[in-house]
């Protein structure tokens, strides 16, 4: 692409259910005088269609779109070049013709969730280790049930964390747990044998994460079931499931893998997507004590029906897909959009967090 510093001829449509920060749109216009910016307040996560307030003519000259899981057709937006997604996951675009049948660049919000999701993972793991759910139940009934056994709690020091999918979230988890004295094992689909290959080129909240990839004590990789099993069998106390949902990762953790975790009674935290972990097998693993417990921010199915047996499984903490919530979410998202607008203006096609059509993330 040729450089276009003013972004003349481009139109950005911000299709989000919130108002941009004060002065944000004006700053865009100052940086890119030729850029037309349109904001439409619309929740693409709750609504099943595009906003009716936008006519056909409004879509015809859109070249850049900030959105969630709702998209125009190629015919509706013939000039579309760049789509900035609001989510880190891209599973909902993988079969959309706008992704499969065009060369439009799709970029995720990968990297903006690291701090808050790492907090959720550590919070739920420590809550289980320190029996906080049990003590909260005592509190409800006004019971002071003191434990006189000083050795009834295992703290985090020297416990081993296995991070299945060492992306931006996993790297921030590593940063936090290392400070607590835990050991980190990382797993990635592709081998990372060199320092350069271990660098993180996605969005990173300044000063956080593991952008150089130096925190893991051991690094596993490979796409086969035996590769995954070798990682799971490495003596993990906490398994963090942080891989994207793709056809290859659906059902990745089921009964055979949960049996492997039985050796250490691993605690399992899933903040990725529900279908990566076989729900029926997980219930058996919890109820029969193969694993010590689980923290789930995602489930399969989702939302989890009121009468689903997973609610009553032993030693499980379930939250309704909220681990990524943060007052800083939108600000970080716009930072990624700003970077990609800058790269577009410079004629660069290597956008930040660009989804690979080959890998699906």
pLDDT tens-digit readout, 92-111: 999 999 999 999 999 999 99
**Which structural domain range is residue 171 located in?**
114-318
Would residue 354 count as lying in a domain? Answer: no
pLDDT at position 148? 81
Task: Evaluate if residue 187 carries a pLDDT over 90.
Answer: yes
The pLDDT score that the predictor gives to residue 150 is: 86
Total number of domains in the chain: 2
Same domain? For 39 and 141 the reply is no
Could you tell me the pTM of the whole model? 0.89
Cα separation, 309 vs 282, whole angstroms:
11
My answer on whether 100 and 158 are in the same domain is no
Burial class of residue 123, CB neighbours in 10 A (0-12, 13-18, 19+): middle
Which domain CATH number covers 138? 3.40.50.720
For residues 49 and 123, state if they share a domain.
no
| 64 — pLDDT class (breaks 50, 70, 90) | very high
Q: Do 161 and 30 have their domain in common?
A: no
| Whether 76 contacts 55, CB under 8 Å | no
Q: Is residue 4 part of a domain?
A: no
**233 and 84, same domain (yes or no):** no
**pLDDT on residue 359:** 86
pLDDT digits (tens, 9 = 90+) for 241-299: 999 888 899 999 999 999 999 999 999 999 999 999 999 999 999 999 999 999 999 99
3 in a structural domain: no
Q: DSSP string spanning 263-331?
A: GTT-EEEE-S-GGGB-HHHHHHHHHTTSSSEEEESS-SSSSPPTT-GGGGSTTEEE--S-TT--TTHHH
């Amino acid at each position: 692409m040729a450089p276009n510093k003013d972004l003349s001829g481009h139109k950005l449509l911000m299709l989000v259910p919130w108002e941009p920060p004060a002065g944000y749109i004006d700053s865009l216009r100052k940086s890119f005088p030729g850029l037309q910016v349109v904001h439409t307040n619309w929740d693409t996560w709750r609504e099943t269609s595009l906003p009716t307030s936008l006519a056909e003519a409004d879509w015809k000259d859109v070249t850049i779109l900030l959105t969630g899981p709702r998209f125009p057709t190629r015919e509706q937006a013939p000039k579309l070049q760049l789509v900035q997604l609001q989510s880190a996951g891209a599973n909902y675009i993988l079969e959309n013709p706008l992704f499969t049948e065009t060369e439009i660049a799709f970029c995720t919000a990968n990297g903006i969730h690291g701090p808050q999701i790492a907090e959720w993972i550590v919070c739920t793991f420590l809550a289980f280790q320190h029996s906080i759910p049990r003590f909260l139940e005592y509190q409800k009934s006004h019971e002071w049930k003191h434990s006189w056994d000083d050795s009834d709690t295992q703290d985090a020091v020297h416990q081993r964390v296995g991070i299945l999918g060492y992306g931006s979230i996993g790297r921030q988890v590593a940063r936090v747990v290392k400070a607590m004295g835990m050991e980190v094992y990382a797993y990635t689909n592709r081998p990372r044998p060199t320092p350069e290959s271990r660098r993180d080129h996605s969005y990173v909240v300044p000063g956080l994460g593991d952008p150089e990839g130096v925190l893991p004590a051991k690094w596993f990789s490979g796409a086969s079931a035996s590769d995954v099993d070798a990682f799971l069998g490495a003596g993990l106390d906490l398994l963090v499931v942080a891989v994207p949902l793709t056809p290859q990762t659906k059902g990745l953790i089921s009964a055979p893998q949960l049996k492997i975790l039985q050796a250490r009674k691993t605690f399992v935290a899933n903040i990725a997507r529900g279908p990566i972990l076989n729900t029926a097998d997980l219930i058996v693993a919890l109820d029969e004590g193969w694993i010590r417990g689980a923290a789930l921010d995602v489930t399969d199915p989702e939302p989890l029906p009121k009468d689903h047996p997973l609610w009553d499984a032993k030693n499980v903490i379930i939250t309704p897909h909220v681990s990524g919530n943060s007052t800083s979410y939108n600000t970080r998202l716009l930072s990624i959009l700003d970077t990609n607008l800058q790269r577009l203006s410079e004629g660069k096609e290597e956008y930040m967090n660009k989804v690979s059509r080959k890998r699906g993330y």
